[in-house]
Amino acid sequence: MNIDTPVLITFVGYLIFMIAIGFIAYKATDTVDDYILGGRKMGPAVTALSVGASDMSGWLLLGLPGAVYLGGLGEAWIGFGLVVGAWLNWLIIAKRLRIYTELADNALTLPDFFEKRFADNSGSLKIISAVTIIIFFTFYASSGMVGGAILFEQVFGLEYTTALVIGSVIIVTYTFVGGFFAVSWTDFFQGCLMLIALLVVPIAIFTQVDSNSLDQLKPEMFDLISQETTFIGIISLLAWGLGYFGQPHILSRFMAIGKVEHLVVSRRIAMSWMILALIGALATGLAGAVYFMDEPLTNHETVFIQLSKIAFNPWIGGFLIAAILSAIMSTIDSQLLVCSSVITEDVYRKWLRPQASSQELMLVGRCGVIVIAIIAVLFAFDPKSSVLGLVSYAWAGFGAAFGPVVILSLFWSNYSKNGAIATIIVGAATVIIWKQMSGQIFDIYEIVPGFILAMLAGFIVSKLSPADNASHQSFAEFEQNLSQNND
């Protein structure tokens, strides 16, 4: 395949810019707190776009446009569920989590927060949480590796395995070097680029095609509810919104914002970005269905890539294609950072080296990035892997295992340590087992039964095994601090 020089120059220039941010962030990273959570100094705009970019990933530019290209606007139900879920996450979780994690002896990770929230001296809750995070994030990061491989394969004509390795090395580099500062600031720029790309590509295509082309599409492409739409299907798509309450890479952004009062502005920016980006992704899928009506694509998840090449000259095309890498990088870097944080704080410092220095912990965290990335690459070696499929599994796992724990921890004083352990185990196990089943009720998205059963398990076990006095005292102090912030 011939590679246009302008595309190559633009693409490589963008990568150099991202890596440069990583090295700049390296200079600002002095302690393990800086590496894991940016010292809780992030501003509202960076927090907002970092949440959006790390949330949407390559799914926004590859998976969702591809799904709409194949099935029409019926796939928009995912978008509806995500918008509602994200808004509720900002509205009811963000402030409480930001206050409580700082109050809980400056907890830097979710497992660390859970341990301090429930005064768990045994360490059992922390290790169960850490193992769950590492398992599901490995699958999640793998989806990004697949997306990166598809991108390099399509743009540069590389063999899939070669493309996978090159893309993975680039993604890991600046996360390894810069930590949370690098991840957040690159996410900010990547979020801007993703939004621009998703808005200009469909507009450019629709201005080029015949005005009657849309009329030639099958009518069901425009139906939110078609003959093939089922009640279980709609519930499954809407249920994606439940996942937000348990995504560690999103929740960590709430924990890192500089001031609690900045969350309102941050929420407005984030939700505006999200709604516009989802509209752009849906429009891109429809534009692809119109343009490739007579010559269907072999891989439907490449529709954005192909449209970018067609609609613009190579210089702009390279810029827009870099947006896909932005989407992929913005999520994988966050996932790798959360995994390395868990390895550093919740495994190494907790169980192996309690007196380790900040420099030693940062080194362990960087090594953790490499290890998790290698495992994710091994999962991604199958060229038939689906970006959307891998994302949906990991999203369900986190949503069911951690969503109910986060909600109950922040709102119910009688929630106990044993209840939290039961919640995580039941949620994760339900998703894993449900995924292996098929037919009738098992066709519903696994996050639905996982979330419901996990919430019930937490409630029932907490009633049977009540919270101790230390846990009650911790929650009472949090409520008092929350009231002061409300004032």
Residue 419 lies inside a defined structural domain of this protein: no
Q: How far apart are CA 225 and CA 73, in angstroms?
A: 9
Q: How many whole angstroms separate alpha carbon 38 and alpha carbon 335?
A: 15
- Model confidence over 31-73: pLDDT tens digits? 666 666 766 788 899 889 888 877 776 678 887 898 899 888 8
What's the whole-model pTM score?
A: 0.84
Q: In this structure, is residue 109 part of a structural domain?
A: yes
The verdict on residue 33 lying in a domain is yes
**What pLDDT does residue 424 have?**
97
Residue 359 lies in a domain: yes
What CATH number is attached to the domain comprising 347?
1.20.1730.10
Note the pLDDT tens digit of each residue in 98-114.
999 988 888 888 888 99
Say if CB 114 and CB 405 are below 8 A apart: yes
Question: How do residues 368-420 score in pLDDT, each as one tens digit?
Answer: 878 888 888 887 777 666 655 677 888 999 999 999 999 999 999 999 999 99
Stretch 410-439: mean pLDDT, rounded?
93
Q: Is residue 178 predicted with pLDDT exceeding 60? A: no
**Could you give the count of Cα atoms lying within 13 Å of 189 in the half-sphere of its Cβ?**
17
Contact status, residue 76 vs residue 70, Cβ threshold 8 Å: no
First to last CA, the chain: 63
- Domain around 321: 5-387
Asked whether residue 10 carries a pLDDT value surpassing 70, the answer given is yes
d(CA 461, CA 438): 29
pLDDT at 245 over 70: yes
Q: Is residue 416 part of a domain?
A: no
The CA-based angle 419-111-486, given to 5 degrees, is: 85
pLDDT at residue 1 in the model: 47
CB burial string 305-335: b at 16+ within 10 A, e below: bebbbebbebebbbbbbbbbbbbbbbbbbbb
Count of alpha carbons within 13 angstroms of residue 125, beta-carbon side: 25
CA angle 134, 243, 467 (to 5 degrees): 75
| In-domain check, residue 420 | no
Domain tally for the chain?
1
Query: CA-CA distance, 336 to 353, in Å (whole number)?
Result: 22
Percent of the chain with pLDDT over 70: 89
Lowest average pLDDT, out of 66-70, 121-125, 308-312, 420-424, goes to 308-312
The answer to whether residue 265 is domain-embedded is yes
Residue 438 lies in a domain: no
Mean pLDDT of 66-82: 88
